[in-house]
């Protein structure tokens, strides 16, 4: 890495969110900067809801180069931006900002999730998305772009399910997007699906009465966007029920970070290098 002198200010990139103490993003991005010998720094800045808007605006005033936005601000951030790209508009959520004098928002979760999926998806079968927050918006847009025609949303607050459906439906008139009410779920809700994706921070984002070992029967893929968990109840349950493929969110994390770098600096970084850097973490 080139070291900072009195005249060389590093390019600053940051992550805004809360909580973010366990984030791997600084490790990923600083490894890329170091490998490419750039005078650039990425740091994670926890921010409260009261200070979030000010933090985004300061980024522009201080001439920082870019940012990632994470839980729970991916939707809140929209109102502070000057421009939003098409994918982020469809998702109604932004996870990457570039400062070009104007703040421009993108959603690399959509790209990262798509890139992390296997090639042999059967788009004629249905998909289930657990959750209706920022990550769920990205996952639904990705699945709709990939050609899934039927997606079911299961979320604790039905109001947020309705809001997700209202946001996304206008962009995909042919997509059948259904919301299932939390209290009306049955053990069959996850059965016989191509793909079930957990888009919540919860280990088992279903009501207690739905816990049932047979619920993944004939489901082909279970994907949890969370990563780095020694014990992942959802994925373990899926494996016990002979689900063909299970994924955690590490591959998506790597690709969403790589696409953020592409937006900030014009090219994808070396993915093998990122994977190597993540070995330090475990
Ligand atoms: P968010 O916008 O705050 O949404 C959280 C969602 O989880 C909401 O739908 C919420 O339901 C639901 N939820 C929260 N606690 C729950 C519980 N105890 N039981 C059931 N549902 C619960 O967060 P987000 O940005 O979508 O992130 C969600 C998860 O995805 C996080 O763990 C994040 O780290 C992960 N993620 C991973 C990647 C990756 O690259 N691998 C990328 C993006 C996100 P209500 O609507 O009822 O509140």
Q: How confident is the model at residue 266 (pLDDT cuts 50, 70, 90)?
A: very high
Kindly state if the Cβ of 133 falls inside 6 Å of ligand 1: yes
Ligand 1: residue whose CA is nearest its atom 43: 135
Q: Give the model's pLDDT for residue 210.
A: 80
Kindly state if the Cβ of 29 falls inside 6 Å of ligand 1: no
Average pLDDT of the residues in 229-243: 89
Which helix or strand (DSSP H or E) is residue 218 part of?
Answer: none
Kindly state if the Cβ of 109 falls inside 6 Å of ligand 1: yes
Sheet holding 150-154, edge to edge: 176-180, 150-154, 127-130, 195-198, 221-224, 245-247
Q: How confident is the model at residue 236 (pLDDT cuts 50, 70, 90)?
A: very high
Q: Which of 19, 180, 199, 250 to probe ligand 1 with, by most ligand atoms within 8 A of CB?
A: 199
**Confidence check: pLDDT of 1 > 60:** no
Ligand 1: residue whose CA is nearest its atom 19: 205
What global pTM score does this model have? 0.94
User: For residue range 5-36, what is the model confidence (pLDDT) as tens digits?
Assistant: 556 789 999 999 999 998 999 999 999 999 99
> In sequence order, which residues have a C-beta less than 8 Å from that of residue 241 and are 6 or more positions away?
213, 214, 215, 216, 217, 219
Residue 131 CA to ligand 1 centre (angstroms): 6
Catalytic residue check, 233: no
User: For residue range 159-216, what is the model confidence (pLDDT) as tens digits?
Assistant: 999 999 999 999 999 999 999 999 889 888 889 999 999 999 998 888 888 877 788 8
Q: How confident is the model at residue 4 (pLDDT cuts 50, 70, 90)?
A: low
* φ, ψ at 44 (rounded to 5°): -95, 125
Kindly state if the Cβ of 251 falls inside 6 Å of ligand 1: no
Between vectors from CA 20 to CA 18 and to CA 23, what angle results, nearest 5°? 155
Which atom number of ligand 1 is nearest to the Cα of residue 70?
Answer: 25
Average pLDDT of the residues in 253-275: 97
Which helix or strand (DSSP H or E) is residue 129 part of?
Answer: strand 127-130
User: For residue range 67-107, what is the model confidence (pLDDT) as tens digits?
Assistant: 999 999 999 999 999 999 999 999 999 999 999 999 999 99
């Amino acid at each position: 890495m080139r070291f900072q002198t009195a005249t060389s200010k590093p390019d600053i990139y940051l992550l805004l969110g809360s909580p973010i103490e366990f984030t791997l993003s600084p490790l990923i991005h600083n490894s890329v900067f170091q490998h490419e010998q750039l005078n650039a720094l990425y740091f994670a800045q926890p921010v409260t809801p009261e200070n979030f808007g000010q933090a985004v605006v300061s980024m522009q005033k201080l001439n920082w180069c870019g940012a990632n936005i994470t839980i729970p601000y991916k939707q809140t951030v929209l109102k502070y931006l000057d421009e939003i790209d098409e994918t982020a508009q469809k998702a109604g959520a932004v996870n990457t900002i570039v400062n070009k004098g104007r703040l421009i928002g993108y959603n690399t979760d959509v790209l990262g999730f798509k890139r992390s999926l296997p090639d042999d998806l059967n788009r004629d079968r249905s998909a289930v998305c657990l959750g209706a927050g920022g990550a769920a918006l990205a996952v639904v847009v990705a699945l709709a772009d990939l050609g899934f025609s039927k997606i079911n949303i299961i979320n604790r607050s039905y109001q947020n399910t309705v809001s997700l459906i209202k946001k996304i439906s206008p962009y995909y008139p042919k997509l059948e997007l259904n919301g299932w009410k939390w209290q009306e779920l049955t053990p069959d809700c996850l059965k016989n699906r191509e793909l079930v994706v957990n888009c919540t921070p919860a280990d088992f984002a279903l009501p207690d009465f739905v816990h049932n070992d047979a619920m993944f029967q004939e489901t082909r893929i279970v994907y949890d966007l969370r990563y780095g968990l020694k014990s992942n109840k959802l994925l373990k349950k899926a494996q016990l029920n002979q689900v063909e493929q299970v994924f955690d969110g590490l591959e998506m994390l790597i690709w969403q970070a790589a696409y953020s770098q592409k937006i900030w600096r014009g090219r994808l970084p070396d993915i093998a290098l990122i994977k190597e850097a993540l070995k330090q973490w475990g």
